[in-house]
Structure 1
Amino acid sequence: MNENNCPGCQSPLSWKDGQYYCEACQHPVKKKAFCPDCEDELEKLQACGSASYFCNHCNELKSKSRVKVVFEFA
């Protein structure tokens, strides 16, 4: 299972004011998803409580289990 850890100190991230936040670094953190095929950043689509990822370069939906998720300081 993929953990939501800070890119700087590897501490677990918390959810604060609608975004990820590292309490140890006191920094907001952004979550980005990348296409497993072309490595372009994916667009997150949310509907009815579920999330899907769409690659504009490949022009297709990508499986959540295949995307590469990266956390970086906002």
Structure 2
Amino acid sequence: MEALCPQCHKAMDYQAEHYHCQPCNSDYQQQAQCPQCQQPLQILKACGAVDYFCQHGHGLISKKSVQFSYQPV
């Protein structure tokens, strides 16, 4: 999945826990959101696996349906 800059819509590079847009010279943090309530998801990491959990009543969320947004760092 390619991360696109929310300002210029160009591809961003992943650098040290955040994304960097070269054309805009801006940094962004990726945030996983529930597809049903658009609230931030809890990220569960174990043994190399990543799972997403909605604390607002929707339970485990499939990786395929997670929506990602990018917030300025």
Work out whether the TM-score is over 0.5. Answer: yes
2:31 alignment counterpart: 32
Residue aligning to 2:72: 73
Gaps of 5+ in 1: none
Q: Alignment identity in percent?
A: 33
Structure 2: give runs of 5+ residues left out of the alignment.
none
Partner of 1:15: 14
Contact 2:13 2:20 in 1 (8 A): yes
Residues 47-58 of structure 1 correspond to what in structure 2 (within 5 A)? 47-58=46-57
TM superposition score normalised by structure 2: 0.84
After superposition, give the CA deviation of every residue in 1:9-38 in whole Å (9 maximum; x if it has no partner).
Answer: 111111112211111111111111111222
Q: Which amino acid in 1 is paired with 2:13?
A: S
* TM-score using structure 1 length: 0.83
Give the aligned length. 73
Hey, what does 1:42 align to over in structure 2?
41
Q: 1:37 to 1:21 in 2, by over 3 A?
A: same
Distance 1:56 1:45 in 2: 12
Q: Is the CA contact 1:7–1:73 (under 8 Å) kept in the aligned structure 2?
A: no
